[in-house]
Amino acid sequence: MLESVKLTNFRNYPEKTVSFTHPTTIITGKNAIGKTNILESIYVGLFTKSFRAHDNQLISTNNDFFRIELSFYKNQLLYYYTLIPKRKKTIKHNNKIITLKESIGKYPVVLFEPNSILLFSLSPSIRRKYFDTLLYQLDPEYVQNSITYNKTLRQRNALLKKYKQLGVKPKLDEQMSIYNIQLAAAGAYITRKRSEFLKKITPSLQEFYTKVSLDNKKIQTKFIASNTSEEDLLEKIQSNWGIDSSVGLTLIGPHREDFVVLFNNEPVKNFASRGEIRSLLLAFKFTELDLFARSSEPPILLLDDVFSELDETRQKLLIKNTKSFQTIITSTNIPSNIIKDFQHIELV
Please, which pLDDT band fits residue 137 given cuts at 50, 70 and 90?
A: very high
pLDDT at 270 over 90: no
Q: Each residue of 222-240: pLDDT tens digit?
A: 999 999 999 999 999 999 9
Query: What average pLDDT does the structure give for the chain?
Result: 92
Let me know if residue 288 belongs to a domain.
no
Average pLDDT of the residues in 226-255: 94
pLDDT at 163: 82
Let me know if residue 279 belongs to a domain.
no
Same domain, yes or no, for 76 and 126?
no
DSSP code string of 63-127: -SEEEEEEEETTEEEEEEEE-SSS-EEEEEETTEE--HHHHTTSS-EEEE-GGGGGGGSS-HHHH
| Secondary structure, 3-state, 176-214 | HHHHHHHHHHHHHHHHHHHHHHHHHHHHHHHHHHHHHHC
Same domain, yes or no, for 214 and 253?
yes
Let me know if residue 240 belongs to a domain.
yes
Average pLDDT of the residues in 191-218: 94
Q: List the domain range (segments joined by +) for residue 264.
A: 117-274
Compute the distance between CA of residue 71 and CA of residue 263 in angstroms, rounded to an integer: 43
pLDDT at 311: 82
303: CB partners within 8 A, 6+ apart: 112, 113, 318, 322, 327, 328, 329, 330
Element (H, E) at 262: strand 258-263
Q: Each residue of 8-23: pLDDT tens digit?
A: 999 999 999 999 999 9
- CATH number of domain containing 348: 3.40.50.300
Same domain, yes or no, for 7 and 58?
yes
Let me know if residue 168 belongs to a domain.
yes
Sign of CA dihedral 211, 212, 217, 221: negative
Compute the distance between CA of residue 316 and CA of residue 4 in angstroms, rounded to an integer: 27
Same domain, yes or no, for 122 and 104?
no
Let me know if residue 96 belongs to a domain.
yes
Region of 253 please: left (phi>0), alpha (psi -120 to 50) or beta.
left
Please give the angle made by the CA atoms of 342, 345 and 347, to the nearest 5 degrees. 160
Let me know if residue 280 belongs to a domain.
no
Let me know if residue 283 belongs to a domain.
no
Please, which pLDDT band fits residue 170 given cuts at 50, 70 and 90?
A: low
Same domain, yes or no, for 197 and 335?
no
Same domain, yes or no, for 25 and 153?
no
Compute the distance between CA of residue 143 and CA of residue 174 in angstroms, rounded to an integer: 27
pLDDT at 323 over 90: no
Same domain, yes or no, for 121 and 257?
yes
Same domain, yes or no, for 154 and 185?
yes
Let me know if residue 281 belongs to a domain.
no
Which of 58, 89, 77, 71 lies closest to 18, judged by CA? Answer: 71
Query: What pTM was estimated for this model as a whole?
Result: 0.93
Q: How many domains does the chain have?
A: 2
Of 239, 274, 309, the one marking the end of a domain is 274
The bridge status of strand 24-28 relative to strand 343-346 is parallel
Q: Each residue of 65-87: pLDDT tens digit?
A: 999 999 998 899 999 999 999 99
- Quick check: 61 and 92 in contact, CB under 8 A? no
